[in-house]
């Protein structure tokens, strides 16, 4: 079953999508109206279709408030697939026993907690919302986000 896009890319969005397809590490920024969420959703669809539903995917969001918003969109996106959308770093045992793959939506703190349990499944793709804040000296959460990304790199 193929997930179909209901929108089309702008030229700039297409360039970014193509970069995501060909690079292991890629960062971009854009204004609120640029369509970053649309690119993330489209690339998630691409991964599911191209990799035959074999990847675990994680989205890192800066605040707890965004977890529900992003989870809702992702659940709608993958409702006809065997993916489970998880926002807790502790996967319930009943879900772990079932076949299927996961899409995680975490804050940096939850990602760190997730990595502390060595029995948790590997994350194949990690999307970071607001990654530009890693360069901010005024944001007190910057070290936490950086630590979470270092842990993710080590687990890769």
Buried/exposed code over 76-106 (b: 16+ C-beta within 10 A; e: otherwise): ebbeeeebbbbbebebeeeeeeeeebbbbbb
| 137-148: pLDDT as tens digits | 777 777 777 778
Q: Give the span between the Cα atoms of 136 and 1, in whole angstroms.
A: 42
Are 130 and 66 a contacting pair, CB within 8 Å? no
145 is a domain residue: yes
Q: What is the CATH number of the domain that holds 122?
A: 3.40.50.300
Q: What range does the domain containing 112 cover? A: 53-155
- What band does 1 get if pLDDT is binned at 50, 70 and 90? very low
Which of these, 42, 3, 2, lies nearest to 19 by C-alpha position? 42
Q: Is residue 10 part of a domain?
A: no
Give the model confidence (pLDDT) of 29-57 as tens digits.
888 889 988 999 999 999 999 988 889 99
Give me the pLDDT at residue 13, please: 94
Task: Please give the tally of structural domains in the chain.
Answer: 1
Q: What is the pLDDT of residue 84?
A: 93
50-105 pLDDT tens trace: 988 889 999 999 889 899 999 999 999 999 888 999 999 998 887 877 777 999 99
């Amino acid at each position: 079953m193929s997930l179909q896009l209901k929108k089309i890319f702008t030229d700039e969005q297409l360039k970014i999508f193509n970069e995501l397809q060909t690079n292991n590490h890629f960062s971009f920024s854009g204004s609120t109206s640029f369509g970053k969420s649309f690119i993330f959703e489209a690339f998630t669809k691409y991964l599911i279709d191209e990799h035959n539903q074999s990847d675990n995917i994680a989205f890192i969001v800066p605040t707890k408030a965004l977890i529900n918003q992003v989870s809702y969109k992702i659940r709608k996106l993958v409702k006809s697939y065997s993916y489970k959308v998880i926002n807790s770093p502790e996967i319930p045992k009943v879900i772990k026993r079932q076949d299927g793959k996961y899409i995680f939506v975490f804050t940096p703190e939850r990602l760190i907690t997730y990595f502390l349990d060595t029995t948790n499944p590997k994350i194949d793709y990690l999307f970071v919302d607001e990654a530009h804040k890693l360069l901010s000296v005024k944001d007190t959460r910057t070290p936490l986000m950086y630590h979470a990304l270092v842990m993710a790199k080590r687990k890769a």
